[in-house]
A and B are shown apart, each in its own frame.
Chain A
Amino acid sequence: MLVAKNLSKSYKEVKALNNVSLAVQEGELYGLLGPNGAGKTTMISILSSLLKPDCGEILYRGKSLYQNLTESKKMIGVVPQEIALYEDLTAFENLKFWGTLYGIKGKQLQLKIEELLSFLGLSDRKNHKIKNYSGGMKRRINIAAALLHDPKIVFMDEPTVGIDPQSRNLIFEVIQELHSRGLTMIYTTHYMEEAERLCDRIGIIDEGKIIAEGSFEELKKSSNIKEEIHVKFTNTLKTDLSNIDNHFNGQLLIHENQMVLSTSQANADLPILIQMCTNANLHLENLQVRSLSLESIFLELTGKSLRD
């Protein structure tokens, strides 16, 4: 469906994308996972024709994106990170406007809007102004605006930013439904659980490069880490824990009163970790050994947390 070869893009001194190549199959849901500033939005902007790469090639179904840009644009749907809607217009008016830009008119447009609103559970709110919608509802209309013209591929740039867990689950369901209907999607996020839950394949991007790619199972197999030890303490971790981190070669994530150690030998590392925490006057509240997550894989690959 989509093949991108050797894409590079720089903003003055900053290299946002560095010789990135990517191939997405028809009907695939591809996750682009990386921290803020890794190059995800630049990648999506280039693939959706919003930005021109400094070099590289983009092919949709074998044809260059720029060969017939207008026709290429009709194949593409973009769900931007921002709520790209007109707040003072109703959901129906917004969708009508965006649909008209793609040449859909009259009854056909009306039916498409009704269908999408019903699919997203917002039929009864179609005549309400967007400014009166909740964050989650706005996000759903934001998705609907990208689907009006039946695109062949949809780019979703962090579509769940800033919404509550319930709305997030609703959006996940929508994405899964679209996926089951065979829509090709590229999904960017810095939430590893989203990528784990939704994506067929994941590309881990950092500092403008895709540093690992594959299904979650493939990524797990290629990793040296097998498990994670999650420890919760009764007190906040204020003391200097660099000696523990050094002992485990930087595979320790610390956040408020929690600690996650990514390890290939949980049985051996667990007693050492407990002993070192006791020595540091940290009082354990809870301890779990879990299977490997993307967060740990990312930490192993880049030496930093996804939320850095």
Chain B
Amino acid sequence: MFTIAFKGIRQYFKDRTAVLLSLLLPIVLITLFALMYGGIGKKEKSRPISLLFTDQDNTELSKEVFKTLNDQDGMQLFPKSYEEASDLIKKGKNTAVLVLYKGFQDSVEAGNKAPMELFYDEAKEIEMGLLQQALWSNLFGITMKKGIKGKVNTWIREKNPNLADAELLNIQAQVEEQFTDFDNSEDSKKMEEKSNLPMTAIVSEEKNGNLGLVQAIAGTAIMMLLFSVSGSGASLLKEKEDGTFRRLLVSPITPSSILYGKMLSTLFMAVLQLTVMFLYSWLALGLDIFINLPALLLMILSAAIACTSFGIFMASVCKSRKQVESLSTLVILVISALGGSMMPLIFMPEIMHKLAIVSVNYWAIEGFFDIFWRQLPLSEIYPKMLVLLGIGTVLTSISVISFKRNLLKLV
């Protein structure tokens, strides 16, 4: 078994181009994904959300709405006619337009429903979510205050029909003054403070490092490792095609030794690849790999065992190298998409979260998140390692059976 493993490792290092590619390609991809997820360099202030604004009312209140919204951090308004705005949205250049219809101020002051509407591009669901959140507090803050003032004035007029106009105007001015005084008062600030929900991040980038970087490294490293090990598994079928497998079988070693030897050399390459990935992430991307080194090493080993078993499993169930190559590519792409290697699971619907547990990628990525992002102790991480080892054991057991059934029969 060890002789076969050493031979496999020797062959791996003989092909310098393949060694370079197996290490360089994941490095390039990790860097690329880290850039995509904003995992490299200083955290930049996020780009403001742009909102088109159509003011058909053109009153003091509609102008106040424009100013209030535009003054908000993270939001930028662009005045446009409705036609221009809808054209820009159709062309995908903008996400939404807020239209304040004629009579906006009058309706608000009368305490009626404000005539306004938001038109948007349904494809930009994420941006729309952020936009709605920003609009909700500001837009309804302005309109509701005006609406309450209007309602109060209407109520005074209705309850005091004989009130002289001058008296009425005086009362309205006092009401206005009260609202303004309250807005500027300490009480108002205290109430605002009381009504605000205090929010404190338990897990944050400041305390826990770079989320995007962890996602990029964990997701890409596992996906690339699966591709590497499937190639290594395919070499088992190459041995059959080249005739060396027959020669191995006539030598005084058991068929299982051939399989375990191949697994051992593949495992070595898998551990090497993951180790190089994390060393690169530390040296070039600033990931603190020493945050929990024992957990990281054990997680690397567990992930490598699970991935190696996957590679051997693919080789043992397929009948030719071409079959392994095409089927592996398909399966790896599917489980990588499911497991969150290509896109973080938070962006996926609930059903995908449930399906993800069948993927090696999911458990490995979650394990690396536990180490680098959640910074959990080993006692909290080890269940994920056990799942990975479980996956490895199941796949290896199936491989041993399939190996005897397929490969040995095909001699």
Cα–Cα distance between A51 and B243 once the two chains are bound (Å) = 15
Give residues of chain A (93-148) contacting chain B, Cβ–Cβ below 8 Å: 93, 97-98, 100-103, 129, 145
In the complex, whether A83 has a CB less than 8 A from a CB of chain B is yes
In the complex, whether A186 has a CB less than 8 A from a CB of chain B is no
| Main DSSP-derived SS at the B contact region | helix
Contact of A97 among B3, B250, B252, B411 (CB under 8 A): B3
Contact indicator B253/A101 (Cβ below 8 Å):
yes
In the complex, whether B110 has a CB less than 8 A from a CB of chain A is no
CB-based nearest A residue for B14: A88
Shortest Cβ distance from residue B258 to the other chain A in the assembled complex, whole angstroms:
10
Say whether, besides A89-B11, A97-B7, A101-B3, A80 and B252 are in contact (CB < 8 Å): no
Contact indicator A45/B411 (Cβ below 8 Å):
yes
Cα–Cα distance between A102 and B246 once the two chains are bound (Å) = 15
Contact of A84 among B11, B14, B242, B411 (CB under 8 A): B242
Contact indicator A86/B244 (Cβ below 8 Å):
yes
Contact indicator B252/A50 (Cβ below 8 Å):
no
Chain A residues in 8 Å Cβ range of B319: none
Give residues of chain A (41-60) contacting chain B, Cβ–Cβ below 8 Å: 45, 48-51
Contact of B14 among A50, A80, A82, A89 (CB under 8 A): A89
Give residues of chain B (210-269) contacting chain A, Cβ–Cβ below 8 Å: 242-244, 246-253
In the complex, whether A70 has a CB less than 8 A from a CB of chain B is yes
Contact indicator A98/B247 (Cβ below 8 Å):
yes
Contact indicator B14/A103 (Cβ below 8 Å):
no
Which residue of B7, B250, B411 has the most chain A CB atoms within 10 A of its CB atom?
Answer: B250
In the complex, whether A294 has a CB less than 8 A from a CB of chain B is no
Contact of A70 among B10, B244, B249, B252 (CB under 8 A): B252
Cα–Cα distance between A45 and B252 once the two chains are bound (Å) = 15
Cα–Cα distance between A86 and B11 once the two chains are bound (Å) = 8
Contact indicator B10/A80 (Cβ below 8 Å):
no
Chain B residues in 8 Å Cβ range of A171: none
Give residues of chain B (1-51) contacting chain A, Cβ–Cβ below 8 Å: 3, 7, 10-11, 14-15
Cα–Cα distance between A89 and B6 once the two chains are bound (Å) = 12
In the complex, whether A199 has a CB less than 8 A from a CB of chain B is no
Contact indicator B244/A102 (Cβ below 8 Å):
no
Chain B residues in 8 Å Cβ range of A49: 250
Can you list 12 residue pairs at the A/B interface with Cβ under 8 Å?
A50-B249, A71-B252, A80-B246, A82-B243, A82-B246, A83-B243, A86-B7, A86-B244, A89-B7, A89-B14, A93-B10, A100-B3
Instruction: Give 6 A-B pairs besides A49-B250, A82-B243, A87-B242 with Cβ atoms closer than 8 angstroms.
Output: A45-B411, A80-B247, A100-B3, A101-B3, A101-B252, A145-B247
10 A-B pairs closest in CB distance: A82-B243, A84-B243, A84-B247, A73-B252, A101-B251, A70-B252, A100-B3, A84-B244, A88-B14, A78-B250
